[in-house]
Amino acid sequence: MKRIKAVYPGSFDPPTNGHLDLIERGSKIFDELVVAILQNPEKAPLFSVADRRRMLEAMTTDFDNVSVDTFEGLTVDYALHVEASALLRGIRAISDYEYELQMALMNRKLQPGIETVFMMPAEKYSYVSSRLVREVVQLGGSVSCLVPDLVAQKLREKMDVAHKFENSQKPSGKPSIEAKSKSRKKKV
């Protein structure tokens, strides 16, 4: 019987519970599933590809038929390279559909032999995206129910480093220009 291998491509910056939900669903219908992180030199990601790979590997240890890899260039070329015949993508809401349809049709044009399979994550994750997770964390909100614990921990570490850097850039003890001009006005 033909074994079906699928690639689940994405940025995963950071991986969320929605991604994990989709990986679990994908692992049940495909014989093999490769979670493939795009290395995109044009984007400035929050997490390095190596960090994202480590997080995804830790998140997927329980799934025997799931592996994690990274790729550059076209997704369909990567899929051919690993001998996969399907791409897995998630659709959370109708707003995802237009972009996903366009991408699926372009991928089909490029490689007619590779099918895109859409799956829906659990409704409770239908509003969760990596972009919103990054935004909430950067503004000091909690994302503990939206990402696995290890990702939440990594996000906290990132924010601590960012805050320490910000603080180190602030002038220490010197009065600001505004404060100086106020004190001059008082003397007059």
Catalytic residue numbers read 19, 43, 92, 130
And the tokens for 16? 């969320």
Q: Which x/- pattern, by CB under 6 A, does the window 41-80 give for ligand PNS?
A: ---------------------------------xx-----
d(CA 96, CA 3): 29
Residue 116 binds ligand PNS (CB under 6 A): no
Query: 85, 113 in Cβ contact below 8 A?
Result: yes
Query: 30, 86 in Cβ contact below 8 A?
Result: yes
Give, as one character, the DSSP assignment of residue 145. T
Q: Which of 107, 125, 133, 146 binds ligand PNS (CB under 6 A)?
A: 107
Residue 132 binds ligand PNS (CB under 6 A): no
CA torsion 62→66→70→71, rounded to 10°?
-170
Stretch in the footprint of ligand PNS (CB under 6 A) among 7-15, 20-28, 152-160, 175-183:
7-15
Tell me which residues touch ligand PNS (CB under 6 A): 9-11, 38, 74-75, 103, 106-107
